[in-house]
Amino acid sequence: ETGVTQTPRHLVMGMTNKKSLKCEQHLGHNAMYWYKQSAKKPLELMFVYNFKEQTENNSVPSRFSPECPNSSHLFLHLHTLQPEDSALYLCASSQKSQGNLQETQYFGPGTRLLVL
């Protein structure tokens, strides 16, 4: 596998379910990101991880819980979601250097989530 992979590609869940989204990057990068893309809003950054440490939580509700066990894997644990959480969830990775703005983020194919 190359680049950034995400599983599952599609997910339907009820509001009382608990599920997890998985992201894996094969680029040797040290930073990973979760983005949300919904029909009504532009792409929104949710979380940033650097070397397994969460460095940013962009005011995301606690029903979304990220986990980064190592620099190659990133999870997004979901519980008691609402229908408005239905969206495309995109994972990205980049090579973070100190004070470097030019890093390019590479994205996975996304998980299309539908909450019923």
| Distance separating alpha carbons of residues 67 and 70, to the nearest angstrom | 9
CB of 50 closer than 8 Å to CB of 94: no
Contact positions with another protein (CB under 8 A) in 72-91: 88, 90
Among 7, 18, 56, 61, which residue sits at the site for another protein (rule: CB under 8 A)?
Answer: 56
Closest distance to another protein from the beta carbon of 51 (Å) = 12
| Distance separating alpha carbons of residues 8 and 103, to the nearest angstrom | 27
Considering CB under 8 A, how many residues would be counted as binding another protein? 26
| Distance separating alpha carbons of residues 4 and 77, to the nearest angstrom | 18
Coil, helix or strand for 30?
A: coil
Closest distance to another protein from the beta carbon of 112 (Å) = 7
User: Which residues sit at the interface with another protein, rule CB under 8 A?
Assistant: 31, 42-43, 45, 48, 50, 55-56, 88, 90, 92, 96, 98-110, 112
